[in-house]
Structure 1
């Protein structure tokens, strides 16, 4: 009995020494939480995962054969590669969680914004994604079929649509534009364009102050309805993101409309809002 008690106490002590990363693995995933410019946080990817985010955004430049993460070209540094900040941590996480980013199977999006030349940057990205070290992570398109894996890579920014649509096998998908009739809804194909995005201010004048104009609310819900009917997800950028009633009002409308990815730089603020909303 004494030996059993010692073993139990030892087990509890070891469990209490869990690292922050392993503790974060048990956070409840938030299906609508998207980390805009995620790489600008103190701990890229990890801060978002600690809050339960299921989508993160990384801007990349092709520099000297390396895919470097930064918002502006003057900010690139050789150690901040896509592999170091995102692919390697995701690989470790998926291996630890038996094939998933979170212990509970949850879709996860890596939105890669191509900032340098579309075709050469995509070619370099394709080689990295297809490497034996990482290829098992990614949702795959092959000969008309999509096979879902732990991470779906979607390309924004300088997107080589013609190249993507011609490929019989690829590990990346296309972020369409809501204002483009070929991207949204029945004119597109979710096997190529699973996500449609747009600048909020391009479609809506409301920024959270006062009542949401009924015509704009109807437009928002129609966009989401058309996209969902075609198997696509919806995201807006440039929504109000300063803490306060206006931001909360816009977030409330986005949640009510069923927008799939809510854009923010305030990880803890959006996480608290979604959990308080029961999302």
Structure 2
């Protein structure tokens, strides 16, 4: 019996791998595919004819899966857009306050085109308007110069001045100048009317304080910046001469030889304004000065500029970051932020108000990113062209869920 068992031959175990060792690659692939197909067929093959077919169950499960996926997609879609609408409502600007300024903006016409001229002041002039540290760049381009900015709470306006035949015209280029658009008609006459009415005695309790434009903060002044486009000395002298009535009323901020005496209007000269004429002219000297220089923000190391002669300290941001250092779409880089921070801190240490002009205008998200970065770095005045976006929209929330909402 034992001999019979020993005489049995043990057949070697042969695996699929051993079989395929000598088979070409293409045949190996066919073998694997056919084996997979065989397994798949067996999985659906009924060993007993009484067994139910697995196909209905598979179809039902597939339909269930598709239904659940579709429901989740719809729920996600609804939540996404509900959140989006809630954010839009949150950042959308409220209705502008009803006051004298909004009425003036609505009824404003070009100076000299109608008689009598529309008023420059109405009761409750700037009620509910909060002043903001924003500069209206090239303000004369607005539909309503000066008043559009004031209605939004902007505390800095800019007028480009051209001295031609003894008159100061306001416009960006010579071809833009018109007889009706003068420094006096667009800015000085309206400001005179505003401050005269804001300081009118109420007949009950006389107040020696000089009131400014803002009802909510009567001590908050505005900056009137003149960007001189023609020869500096003569143009500045003409500006100073036209400001004389405001100066006599005590409405201009001035240096008294030892300190700054604030007024409702701070006059800042830029463009072709000569620094020498700011320091000494027929309207000012070392003991009195009512015009202040726009000092170069990127060149304050000489210590020539301080609160006795300067107010703004400005520079084109494209001058600071040009060529390979140009601002990227995502805003200021870490190196650029460090540069801006050092310049702002230097200006602040001298008592000057830092301002960057020529900021990115497009794309919108780049502009708003730079705005936010400058504010977070403590810039003294945010220079803007899009005054509506900068003042009424909550632009720090304008880019949400991959969409631009402002």
- Tell me the TM-score normalized by structure 2: 0.59
Q: Which residue of 2 aligns with 1:178?
A: 297
Q: Which residue of 1 aligns with 2:190?
A: 89
Any unmatched runs of 5+ in structure 1?
1-15
Counterparts in 2 of 1:3-14, with a 5 A limit? none
Contact 1:61 1:70 in 2 (8 A): yes
Contact 2:131 2:214 in 1 (8 A): no
Contact 2:368 2:395 in 1 (8 A): no
1:234 correspondence with 2:357: no
Contact 1:91 1:137 in 2 (8 A): no
Q: Which residue of 2 aligns with 1:246?
A: 366
Cα deviation digits, residues 246-277 of structure 1 (max 9, x gap): 11100000110111211222111110246868
Aligned residues: 260
Q: Which residue of 2 aligns with 1:7?
A: none
Q: Secondary structure at the match of 2:269?
A: strand
Cα deviation digits, residues 216-243 of structure 1 (max 9, x gap): 1111111111111111001111101246
How big is the alpha-carbon RMSD for the aligned residues of Structure 1 and Structure 2?
Answer: 2.4
Q: Which residue of 2 aligns with 1:188?
A: 305
User: CA separation of 1:55/1:211 partners in 2, compared to 1, >3 Å: closer, same or farther?
Assistant: closer
| Superposition deviation, residue 180 in structure 1 | 2.4
Alignment partners' CA distance in 2, 1:88 and 1:29: 24
Alignment partners' CA distance in 2, 1:92 and 1:268: 25
| Superposition deviation, residue 132 in structure 1 | 5.9
Alignment partners' CA distance in 2, 1:81 and 1:60: 8
| Superposition deviation, residue 135 in structure 1 | 4.7
1:33 correspondence with 2:150: no
Q: Which residue of 2 aligns with 1:258?
A: 378
Which structure has more strand as a fraction of its residues? Answer: 1
| Superposition deviation, residue 87 in structure 1 | 1.1
User: CA separation of 1:208/1:92 partners in 2, compared to 1, >3 Å: closer, same or farther?
Assistant: farther
Q: Secondary structure at the match of 1:100?
A: coil
Q: Which residue of 2 aligns with 1:44?
A: 145
Query: Which stretch of structure 1 is more off in the superposition, 171-180 or 132-141?
Result: 132-141
Alignment partners' CA distance in 1, 2:394 and 2:231: 37
Q: Which residue of 2 aligns with 1:13?
A: none
Max Rg structure: 2
- Tell me the TM-score normalized by structure 1: 0.85
User: CA separation of 1:132/1:213 partners in 2, compared to 1, >3 Å: closer, same or farther?
Assistant: closer
| Superposition deviation, residue 190 in structure 1 | 1.5
Query: Which stretch of structure 1 is more off in the superposition, 209-218 or 133-142?
Result: 133-142
| Superposition deviation, residue 133 in structure 1 | 8.0
Contact 1:207 1:250 in 2 (8 A): no
Bigger RCO (CA 8 Å, 6+ sep) = 1
Alignment partners' CA distance in 2, 1:235 and 1:189: 15
Alignment partners' CA distance in 1, 2:153 and 2:319: 29
User: CA separation of 1:85/1:161 partners in 2, compared to 1, >3 Å: closer, same or farther?
Assistant: same
| Superposition deviation, residue 48 in structure 1 | 0.6
Query: Which stretch of structure 1 is more off in the superposition, 210-219 or 172-181?
Result: 210-219
| Superposition deviation, residue 71 in structure 1 | 0.5
Query: Which stretch of structure 1 is more off in the superposition, 202-211 or 42-51?
Result: 202-211
1:20 correspondence with 2:100: no
Q: Which residue of 1 aligns with 2:233?
A: 119
Q: Which residue of 2 aligns with 1:268?
A: 388
